[in-house]
Chains A and B, each alone.
Chain A
Amino acid sequence: MEKQKLVVIGNGMAGARLVEEVLARGPGDQFEISVFGDEPRGNYNRILLSGVLSGTHDQDDIYINPMEWYERNDVKLYAGVRAIGIDRRAKTVYAAGGHLVPFDKLVIATGSVPFVPPIDGLYDDDGSLREGVYAFRTLDDCENMIERTEHVKDAVVIGGGLLGLEAARGLLTRGLNVHVVHLAAYLMETQLDSQSGDLLRDTLEQMGVTFHLEKLTTDILGEDRVTGVRFRDGSEVDCGMVVVSAGIRPNVDVAKISGLNTRRGILVNDDLSCRNDPDIYAIGECAEHRDVTYGLVAPLWEQASILADRLTGRNPNARYYGSRVSTKLKVMGVELAVAGIKEPRDEQDEVVTYVEPGQGIYKKLIVRDGHIAGAILLGDGMAAPRLLQAFDRDEALPEMRAEMLFPLAPDSVGTDIESLPDQTQVCNCNGVTKGQIVEAVNGGHRSFKAVCDATRAGTGCGSCKPQIQAILEFAADGLVAEDPSANYYVPGVPMSKPELVDAVKELELKSVSSVFEELAEGREDAASKVGLSSLLRTIWGSEYEDERDARFINDRVHANIQRDGTFSVVPRMYGGITTPAELRRIADVAEKYEAGMVKITGGQRIDILGIPKEHLPDVWRELDMPSGHAYTKAFRTCKTCVGTDFCRFGLGDSTTLGIDIEKRFQGMEMPHKVKMAVSGCPRNCAEATVKDVGVVAVEGGKWEIYVGGAAGANVRKGDVLCVVDSPTDVIKYMGRFLQYYRENARYLERTYGFVERIGVERIRQVIMDDLDGSADSLDTDIQSSVDAYFDPWKEGEKPVHENQFVSAPVAVSG
């Protein structure tokens, strides 16, 4: 059978989604697919642009389908090529650059264009928005705005709708003074009533946004550069950039030029075909269906799936009946969800409200015939999921309306999963339903990672991950598979850590390259080198054959690489104690080598930042202090408090013990970094309970040892491993624990994850009760690592390779 030609105009969220849905319905040879995309890139998740602007997402993280995806699936992408018109008789699309592409079926998914109100001074001579004025629609817009924020102090956002407020919040996070200008009397007037609009304004004002309501902008000021805006009443606001966010208009240009029927959008029937051409379809924001155009993603997921069903013949009778839409404002620090109508239509509509102005809480429910017709939830994220779900499903409400506004107990995700209908959208960033996740699980994707890869759920903002996990557990019925590769110690060698350790010992593999040779069919894997070198060093100690290229740069030059390619230098200060002479040397070095900054770190020592690689050996020599290992996965510091020597509450000599600990374990290689602290009394000024290993002196000359504490990306109070009578015992059991951690933790597993995984009970059995009979060997092994200590900064004097600290060995004249 001859392949049908399917052409898509628009490579945005709707267009690309349709192509995916068509491919997913296979077989692959039904269509020859071509896509025109005006934007010169793959396909990305537009709704995450707000995250890119506010810095929570990196722009590279928001791609749904990068360029390779199109190649892989044999989809011809005309990236950066604008379709100009359609010759409907010849069934051909013509596009910029002279492309003529024939079609059997054509889908228009050209989205919307920002509406830009008539304002003087907006445009350059060539008709484009002038520099300093931005719309907020594309990744390009977003990049340009971010670039601009680095050069200006004040920004004006024209438009106080959903998008305008998200833009304002983003600019605020980037440190600008932000003014929002809005024509209506209150914010987001299409979704909110005046009371909630005012409350939202209060909340945002407290965050630092300035509002100018009921103002019509007439002029952008400034000759070469934008300097401000003027309103109709003559008042002005100074600013260096303007973001226009005054609404969107369906992009019907191509359709209109080609004689398709349009009104606000491109008019489509329930089968999504155009009114006057059955072979041309329109979906997404450019389509107008039953008098409605949409500005959100949920409807387009539905449309793409229905159209794919029709095109592929999977369900030739599939129809689209319209969508019920609800949305959330993605503004950090504000919880706002809205659905349906905002005011009652007539007296029959029942209105339930609850307001707590002081707390910024406003909840409103409009009920019609026992169902939700509209809802506004401001300042309370807890009630939103349940309520939006009832709205989406058009559920009958309970008699007690309050149950909807005040969830009795925080919804435990688990219990609710079963009753969730299949079409409930779980991942809002990628439009993935519960049904799709269940299907993927039934199709054999039984691990968390496999499900996410298969459906793309959870790969956007990530807030739905707990729900995905719950659905996985529910659907897999106790058969949740651990991803085999999730258990590999490193990605390039298919073995868990215990298997790998056994093989390494048995085959006596002492170098990273020999591991690739023997255990990975000779395939060297860059992403596995660092993990392997850490493991081999722990296994072989001084017998380890050290291949320097297997180390991360920090460990090749014993300093921490900075964003500009220079390095930071953190010398060791045992227990956080220093001397005037050391401080003087630090000051001299910092001056002589023009350090970018000298800083007291969070680890009770001093960081000298911004040192070029080639100066490291000189800096170390002149400091004449040992390495603090602040750059590597190893024992880092032991913080102390002033303890019995000075403090009136001191119960144990925490400073001396801290110094002893640091001298003993300094530089010791670990699966991840290990930080310690010793406090002289339970007031715990050294924060020992949130360290990987912490020690607290208690009444009666005793010491508590805590393990698995954390206060970084995760906060966890450590578990008490034991209470001992002397500093000697502290060091003994601490050492045993460290060696046990070194041998059993996964690479890059901090103690907080390790202790939780193994359980402190089990660890106590090994360390304290010696149930495994391993205590002696743990003690011996840790001692031999202690004996192997060598200050790596000595390599400054005796480099392992003549060019170890050289960045550009030769300069060749050109």
Chain B
Amino acid sequence: MMETKQTSAQTYDLGPVDQIPPGEGRQINVGHIPVAVFRTRSGEVYATQALCPHRAGPLADGITGGGEIHCPLHSYKFDLETGEPIGNECKALKTYPLEIDDSGNLRVTIAKSKARAGLDPASGGHK
């Protein structure tokens, strides 16, 4: 079930979902790609780029709720599902498909090209 869907994308096992306290996020480095992984109180999981496009705040330390993540540094808001900015003009967050497998482990899928070009989460900017 978890085979990589395209040749260019790869799925990684990030370990048990329990390592993330409910409602919180943690940064997990997949190779050299820092990924912020969130587990909401209602049980959904999301993965986005780890650093805020505004001024590189650590998103995993932010506050989740109502499908949003609020950055801890200046409270910019983003949609967890789509990565779209809410009420600000930042670039949308990169998001990565994330699932919980049968044994309760988190599995994230990262495109190969992203793995290379994507490692620029700090570069902010506007659409």
Q: Which residues of A contact B (CB under 8 A)?
A: 40-42, 60, 63, 66-67, 79, 492, 513, 523-530, 547-550, 552-553, 556, 561, 563-565, 801-804, 806-814
Say whether A808 contacts B27, CB under 8 Å. yes
Q: Residue of A at shortest CB range from B15?
A: A810
Cross-interface CB contact of A561 among B10, B61, B126, cutoff 8 Å: B61
Residue B30 at the chain A interface, CB threshold 8 Å: yes
Whether A812 contacts B61 in the complex (CB less than 8 A), given A40-B126, A548-B23, A549-B23, comes out as no
25 A-B residue pairs with Cβ-Cβ distance under 8 Å, sorted by A, are A40-B126, A40-B127, A41-B127, A66-B87, A67-B127, A524-B42, A525-B65, A525-B66, A526-B70, A529-B65, A548-B23, A549-B64, A552-B72, A556-B24, A561-B58, A561-B72, A565-B57, A806-B26, A808-B27, A808-B28, A809-B20, A810-B14, A812-B13, A814-B33, A814-B110
Say whether B115 contacts A547, CB under 8 Å. no
Residues on the A chain within 8 Å of B75, using CB: 527
Bound complex: CA A549 to CA B63 (Å): 7
Say whether A552 contacts B63, CB under 8 Å. yes
Residues on the B chain within 8 Å of A814, using CB: 10, 12, 30-33, 110, 115
Bound complex: CA A804 to CA B60 (Å): 12
Bound complex: CA A513 to CA B30 (Å): 32
Residue B45 at the chain A interface, CB threshold 8 Å: no
Q: Separation in Å of the B110 CB from the closest CB of chain A? A: 8
Q: A565-B58, A803-B26 are in contact. List 14 more A-B contacts (CB 8 A).
A: A60-B89, A530-B63, A547-B41, A549-B41, A549-B64, A552-B72, A561-B72, A564-B56, A565-B56, A803-B19, A807-B27, A808-B28, A814-B10, A814-B115
Bound complex: CA A71 to CA B84 (Å): 14
Bound complex: CA A786 to CA B64 (Å): 31
Residue B5 at the chain A interface, CB threshold 8 Å: no
Q: Is the interface of A mostly helix, strand, loop or mixed?
A: loop
Residues on the B chain within 8 Å of A810, using CB: 14-15, 19, 28
Residue B62 at the chain A interface, CB threshold 8 Å: yes
Q: Residue of B at shortest CB range from A564?
A: B56
Bound complex: CA A440 to CA B59 (Å): 39
Say whether A41 contacts B126, CB under 8 Å. yes
Q: Separation in Å of the B51 CB from the closest CB of chain A? A: 8
Residue B90 at the chain A interface, CB threshold 8 Å: yes
Bound complex: CA A41 to CA B34 (Å): 28
Say whether B72 contacts A63, CB under 8 Å. no
Residues on the B chain within 8 Å of A564, using CB: 56
Residues on the B chain within 8 Å of A549, using CB: 21-24, 41, 63-64
Residues on the A chain within 8 Å of B64, using CB: 526, 549
Q: Separation in Å of the A632 CB from the closest CB of chain B? A: 14
Say whether A42 contacts B89, CB under 8 Å. yes
Q: Separation in Å of the B96 CB from the closest CB of chain A? A: 12
Residues on the B chain within 8 Å of A806, using CB: 26
Whether A526 contacts B77 in the complex (CB less than 8 A), given A67-B127, A549-B41, comes out as yes
Residues on the A chain within 8 Å of B55, using CB: 563
Q: Residue of A at shortest CB range from B24?
A: A549
Bound complex: CA A565 to CA B75 (Å): 14
Say whether B21 contacts A548, CB under 8 Å. yes
Q: Which residues of B contact A (CB under 8 A)?
A: 10, 12-15, 19-24, 26-34, 40-42, 54-58, 60-66, 68-70, 72-73, 75, 77, 87-90, 110, 115, 126-127
Q: Residue of B at shortest CB range from A557?
A: B61
Cross-interface CB contact of A526 among B14, B34, B66, B87, cutoff 8 Å: B66
Whether A809 contacts B63 in the complex (CB less than 8 A), given A40-B127, A801-B21, comes out as no
Whether A809 contacts B65 in the complex (CB less than 8 A), given A524-B41, A561-B72, A803-B20, comes out as no
Q: Residue of A at shortest CB range from B12?
A: A812
Q: Separation in Å of the B120 CB from the closest CB of chain A? A: 16
Q: Residue of A at shortest CB range from B22?
A: A549
Whether A524 contacts B65 in the complex (CB less than 8 A), given A513-B41, A565-B57, A801-B21, comes out as yes
Whether A809 contacts B28 in the complex (CB less than 8 A), given A40-B127, A549-B22, A550-B23, comes out as yes
Residues on the B chain within 8 Å of A553, using CB: 61-62, 72
Bound complex: CA A552 to CA B58 (Å): 13
Residues on the B chain within 8 Å of A79, using CB: 127
Bound complex: CA A809 to CA B34 (Å): 12
Q: Residue of A at shortest CB range from B42?
A: A524
Say whether B65 contacts A808, CB under 8 Å. no
Q: Residue of A at shortest CB range from B59?
A: A565
Bound complex: CA A553 to CA B64 (Å): 11
Bound complex: CA A66 to CA B87 (Å): 8
Say whether A807 contacts B12, CB under 8 Å. no
Residues on the A chain within 8 Å of B31, using CB: 812-814
Closest 7 CB pairs of A and B: A814-B31, A549-B23, A526-B65, A553-B61, A565-B58, A524-B65, A801-B21
Whether A527 contacts B70 in the complex (CB less than 8 A), given A810-B28, A812-B29, comes out as yes
Bound complex: CA A564 to CA B23 (Å): 23
Residues on the B chain within 8 Å of A561, using CB: 58, 61, 72-73
Q: Residue of A at shortest CB range from B115?
A: A814
Say whether A563 contacts B90, CB under 8 Å. no
Residues on the A chain within 8 Å of B26, using CB: 803, 806-809
Q: Residue of B at shortest CB range from A548?
A: B21
Q: Residue of A at shortest CB range from B41?
A: A513
Residues on the B chain within 8 Å of A527, using CB: 63, 65, 70, 75
Bound complex: CA A60 to CA B86 (Å): 12
Residues on the A chain within 8 Å of B77, using CB: 526
Bound complex: CA A492 to CA B57 (Å): 24
Bound complex: CA A551 to CA B57 (Å): 17
Q: Separation in Å of the A58 CB from the closest CB of chain B? A: 8
Q: Separation in Å of the A551 CB from the closest CB of chain B? A: 8
Residues on the A chain within 8 Å of B23, using CB: 547-550
Q: Separation in Å of the B53 CB from the closest CB of chain A? A: 11
Bound complex: CA A812 to CA B108 (Å): 11
Cross-interface CB contact of A811 among B29, B40, B57, B90, cutoff 8 Å: B29
Residues on the B chain within 8 Å of A524, using CB: 40-42, 65-66
Say whether A523 contacts B63, CB under 8 Å. no
Say whether B73 contacts A526, CB under 8 Å. no
Say whether B22 contacts A60, CB under 8 Å. no
Of B15, B66, B115, most A-chain CB atoms within 10 Å: B66
Q: Separation in Å of the A536 CB from the closest CB of chain B? A: 15
Bound complex: CA A147 to CA B37 (Å): 31
Q: Separation in Å of the A521 CB from the closest CB of chain B? A: 12
Bound complex: CA A552 to CA B72 (Å): 7
Residues on the A chain within 8 Å of B54, using CB: 60
Q: Residue of A at shortest CB range from B63?
A: A526
Q: Residue of B at shortest CB range from A524?
A: B65
Bound complex: CA A802 to CA B19 (Å): 8
Q: Separation in Å of the B111 CB from the closest CB of chain A? A: 12
Q: Separation in Å of the B34 CB from the closest CB of chain A? A: 8
Q: Separation in Å of the B109 CB from the closest CB of chain A? A: 12
Q: Separation in Å of the A87 CB from the closest CB of chain B? A: 30
Residues on the B chain within 8 Å of A802, using CB: 19
Bound complex: CA A808 to CA B15 (Å): 12
Residues on the A chain within 8 Å of B33, using CB: 814
Bound complex: CA A553 to CA B26 (Å): 12
Bound complex: CA A565 to CA B65 (Å): 21
Residues on the A chain within 8 Å of B22, using CB: 547, 549
Whether A523 contacts B127 in the complex (CB less than 8 A), given A808-B26, A812-B31, A814-B33, comes out as no
Bound complex: CA A565 to CA B60 (Å): 10
Q: Residue of A at shortest CB range from B40?
A: A524
Bound complex: CA A544 to CA B51 (Å): 33
Q: Residue of B at shortest CB range from A58?
A: B74
